[in-house]
Amino acid sequence: QAHLDRIAAVDGAVHAFLHVNDAALESAADVDRRRAAGEELGPLAGVPIAIKDVLVTTGMPSTSGSRILEGWIPPYDATPVRKVREAGMVPLGKTNMDEFAMGSSTEHSAYGPTHNPWDLERIPGGSGGGSAAAVAAFEAPLALGSDTGGSIRQPAHVTGTVGTKPTYGGVSRYGSIALASSLDQVGPVSRTVLDAALLHDVIAGHDPHDQTSIPDPWPSMAEAVRNADVSGLRIGVVKELDSDGFQSGVRQRFHEALELLAANGAEIVEVGAPNFEYAIAAYYLILPAEASSNLAKFDSVRFGLRVVPEGGGTVEEVMAATREAGFGPEVKRRIILGTYALSAGYYDAYYGSAQKVRTLVQQDFASAFDRVDVLATPTAPTTAFRLGEKLDDPLAMYLNDVATIPANLAGVPGISVPAGLAPEDGLPVGVQFLAPAREDARLYNVGGALE
């Protein structure tokens, strides 16, 4: 009830939620009944949670921020949603996001932007700005996000929250409305590293519904936080992401975090990742290519919106009218880019080259992790920018993802942890840690040491 009251009080200004769960109190009562009946519930039982609208949910709309899915109520729960319900967590509602998770500011939502609780004139990051803002504004203690190129970590950075992108395959993608299937990963958003770890433990694990799901069991992330110890840990600073391209206060807080870790016994070394500079270019070919294919299913027949031209039309005309009305400009831009990149005659030049760059980025990670246990970077180049500032400049928007995209291309896990406020503007700054695939616990060890 306290969280519902808080939502009622502040969400008019923040607009983190697209839908508030009218059955929240009922599910809370249900948790009490399960507990009274002797069911063993985990440490998060009874804790409310906000859910990014990219995840399908029974009983609540799931739009992925798009008009084309307006009013659609899915017939099943995404696996991470099923798991949080089974753990006794109480869904508070669905959070705002850039349409189909394309963006870094939540301004591409078809339902209007979310505002950063630290300064309502500024962006909350994206695509998962709703989840991060809900947690930062104390509307929810925890949230679920999805991260294809930074959509959990970059919003965490600009809202002073914690966000983790797990190892690819660590959390099931079943029921996560696909943006780019080889990059997407669901993960936790929270106010503390321990909270993120507790939620990570709930949602991780094998799922036969996702063919890319890793079958092995995971160690407890919460234990990694509780036993945090960085003495002897080798931390590599990625040289290419520690440059004047980054705002001075962002770099200052980043280096202070490293000093703190060094004071606790970590060894800080510089490492090179020469191919990271091509990661954005490769990502913005691979992502639109996969997205153009994934979004083909919104054909006016199977889901949501159907627009019939006046006087009727053929199947093709209805499909075209529906997609014209149902998709926003960024989604159309990426469908066109992706379709072009995949077309005969261009496939090798664009998609093929991008996949080769992807391999080079993976090799950069492999050689770095031969030398160090984790990598460290600022999470994003600047603190929260003003709403509208980059909306008309897609390239400027894409450049926000320079530090977060490499992890998605390589499938490795990453976390963004608050590192204080930038002195020049008083806005939150995050520091990012990256670990080898399946070594998510290392992120919680380092994050826990900073907390």
Return residues touching ligand GLN (CB under 6 A): 101-104, 127, 147-151, 179, 287, 401
CB 124 within 8 A of CB 106: yes
Question: Shortest gap between Cβ of 94 and ligand GLN (angstroms)?
Answer: 16
Q: How far is the CB of 145 from ligand GLN (least distance, A)?
A: 9
CA 406 – CA 383 distance, rounded (Å): 20
What is the spatial order of strands in the sheet that 142-146 belongs to?
17-20, 90-95, 48-52, 142-146, 186-190, 162-165, 414-421, 428-434, 374-378, 234-238, 267-271
243 is catalytic: no
Sign of CA dihedral 347, 348, 353, 359: positive
Kindly name the residue from 27, 52, 292, 300 that is annotated as catalytic. 52
d(CA 348, CA 399): 25
Judged by beta carbon, residue 252 or residue 385, the one nearer ligand GLN is: 385
Nearer residue to ligand GLN within complex by CB, 96 or 127: 127
Q: What's the CA dihedral at 64, 65, 68, 72 to 10 degrees?
A: 60
- Position with the least CB separation from ligand GLN: 151
By beta-carbon proximity to ligand GLN, the closer residue of 264 and 355 is 355
d(C-alpha 434, C-alpha 448), whole Å: 14
CB of 54 to ligand GLN, least distance (A): 8
The CB-of-128 to ligand GLN minimum distance in angstroms stands at 7
Cis peptide before 127 (omega within 30 of 0): yes
Q: Which of 77, 49, 51, 72 is nearest to 61 (CA)?
A: 72
- DSSP-derived letter for residue 166 is P
Residue 360's H or E segment, with its range, is: helix 353-371
| CB of 250 vs ligand GLN, minimal distance in Å | 17
How far are the Cα atoms of 48, 367, 442 from residue 79, in angstroms, in the given order? 17, 34, 25
What is each CA distance from 315 to 277, 288, 306, 439, in whole angstroms? 44, 25, 11, 49
Is the CB of 97 or the CB of 449 nearer to ligand GLN? 97
Does 390 qualify as catalytic in the annotation?
no
CB of 340 to ligand GLN, least distance (A): 17
Complex with ligand GLN: residue 21 or 114, whichever CB lies closer: 114
**One of 66, 131, 146, 151 is an active-site residue; which one?**
151
Q: Of these residues, 27, 62, 109, 127, which one is catalytic?
A: 127
Bridge partner list, 55: 176
Active site residue 293: no
Give 44 or 407: the residue with its C-beta nearer to ligand GLN.
407
What amino acid positions are annotated as catalytic residues? Answer: 52, 127, 151
